[in-house]
Amino acid sequence: MNSLLQVDQLSRYFGPIRAVADLSFTVTRGEILGFLGPNGAGKSTTMKMMTGNLAPSAGQVKINGFDLLDQPRQAKAQIGYLPEQPPLYRELTVDEYLAYSARLNRIERGRLKAAVNTAKERCGLTGVGRRLIGNLSKGFQQRVGIAQAIIHMPELVILDEPTVGLDPIQIREIRSLIRELGQEHSVILSTHILPEVQAVCDRVQIIDKGELVYSDTIDGLDRRMQSSSLLLAMHNPPAEQELLAITGVTAVEPASSGYMRIHFDPQNNPAQQLVEASVAAGWALYELTPERMSLEQVFVDITCSEHVVEQQEVS
């Protein structure tokens, strides 16, 4: 049994509003899963349901084989959760707070100190153990939140937008911390910042309006981002027919300021043939750029195309 988390047809309604609908996915051991979606897509709701903070309207969550509703104690022992706003008691010191959360997670008295020290070390908190949480900067508070989530060495760490509100350096540090966590734990990470997913995750899931619209590995997403077009600039451009004759080229269209855009079949990249033809026929090709879609475009593509389908279904 390799899947650590199984989510099965999870739905959640807030009154008539559908926040999450029929969501099913699995997370395997040692995987970092990126949970991507625009604001209000249902990311946080899903995460709350996976951690027992919110009861699902329908569906099932199984963590390491334990059902979250039937055996909540065993299931919750397997997870560490950092909500969107870290659940910190501002009046406690970092040490006190971590000791408290260690005790809440049933760490025995003898191992308590070691657990607190390990968590502090991993999150870079060794110097601030005696300081009050309320006096720490946002970045450090976020780290305390992550330390709280990993203190009992859970199989699965669930982080809800862990880098929101941090400065770029802190973001980099938190990201490398998450990558480090991924070596020993499975991690689910929600975000609406796309490069973050590329930087950290093994697999991506995009959810929109409570539905899973895309699920693939990072490599798959990369491939999807390689769009099938080239941008050419030539001093003596040939007729369109000549370009279309080259194997692989499917369409030619003029682009702005003398450029031409060539669409091609992804299996058959015609770049080399184009250069050779240019040399042979004297087109004076001086620029050839493979066009690459940004993650944003892919994201918009995926979330928007889904809407079109939906609207068609309705009409």
Interface residue with another protein, options 70, 91, 219, 287 (CB under 8 A)? 91
Q: For the segment 146-165, give every residue that binds another protein (CB under 8 A).
A: 148
> With CB under 8 A as the contact rule, which of the stretches 94-102, 165-173, 200-208, 305-313 interacts with another protein?
94-102
Nearest distance from residue 96's CB to another protein, in Å? 8
Interface residue with another protein, options 29, 103, 192, 261 (CB under 8 A)? 103
The Cα 170–Cα 191 span in angstroms is 16
Q: For the segment 31-90, give every residue that binds another protein (CB under 8 A).
A: 48, 51-55, 72-74, 76-77, 79-81, 83, 85, 87-90
Q: Residue written as tokens 């450090």?
A: 140
Contact 86, 145 (CB under 8 A): yes
Nearest distance from residue 259's CB to another protein, in Å? 52
Q: Which residues of 153-168 are buried (b: 16+ CB within 10 A; e: fewer)?
A: ebbbbbbbbbbeebee
Q: Which long-range contacts (CB under 8 A, 24 or more apart) does 117-122 make?
A: 119/147, 119/148, 119/150, 119/151, 120/94, 120/147, 122/147, 122/150, 122/177, 122/180, 122/181
Residue 13 touching another protein (CB under 8 A): no
Nearest distance from residue 92's CB to another protein, in Å? 7
Helices marked H in 105-259 — which ranges? 109-122, 138-150, 168-181, 194-200, 218-225, 240-245
Nearest distance from residue 54's CB to another protein, in Å? 6
Contact 257, 243 (CB under 8 A): no
Nearest distance from residue 20's CB to another protein, in Å? 14
Indicate the residue among 46 and 148 with the shorter CB distance to another protein: 148
Kindly list the residues in this chain that would bind another protein in the complex (CB under 8 A): 14, 48, 51-55, 72-74, 76-77, 79-81, 83, 85, 87-92, 96, 100-101, 103-106, 148
